[in-house]
Amino acid sequence: MGLHYDSLESRNERVAKETLHKISLLLQERIPFCSPLTILALEFVPQPCPQQENVYDCGIHSLYNTRVLIQRLMHPSYRPARPWDLSDIEPNTTQNRADLRELFQRKWVERIAANAERQELVEAS
């Protein structure tokens, strides 16, 4: 099953279907013990999700939707009838963008610090 979340009113549906087909072919090649009929049964399943208000926030929406899905699926008591349905969330794109920027900046600083520490160890030996 290929779940598809499109925050741009199905604009990416054709590409998503092509990608799912390519994944099906790849799985047929890589998993020889699976029945080809099982692999060919991969179904394209559009899922409801919040719609973005512009044409440039796709990445922010994709990351936020993925985060919500992971949080829901990892929570032991979360068992709704339609677990993949994201129509009930209301993302704050401005806040999500700021959170992502802060995460990237923090990770960048951590990486610089780790590289400097490695360099000091190399120079000390």
Q: What integer is the mean pLDDT of 14-30?
A: 85
Does 76 reside within a domain? yes
pLDDT at site 101: 93
pLDDT of the residue at 40: 57
The predicted model scores a pTM of 0.70
Would you say residue 40 lies in a domain? yes
Mean pLDDT of 13-21: 91
What domain range includes position 51?
Answer: 2-91
Contact between 16 and 44 under an 8 Å Cβ cutoff? The reply is: yes
Distance between CA 74 and CA 76 in Å, rounded?
6
Examine residue 110 and state whether it is found in any structural domain, yes or no: no
pLDDT, tens digit, for every residue of 46-105? Answer: 999 999 988 888 899 999 999 999 988 898 888 878 888 999 999 899 999 999 999 999
At 30, which CATH number?
3.40.395.10
**124 within a domain of the structure (yes/no):** no
Measured CA to CA, the distance from residue 117 to residue 22 in angstroms comes to: 43
pLDDT of residue 30: 63
Tell me whether residue 108 is in a domain: no
C-beta separation of 86 from 47 below 8 A = yes
* C-alpha pair distances (Å), 87 with each of 24, 29, 75, 95: 27, 36, 19, 19
Query: Is residue 98 assigned to a domain?
Result: no
Question: How many separate domains does the chain show?
Answer: 1
Q: Is residue 52 part of a domain?
A: yes
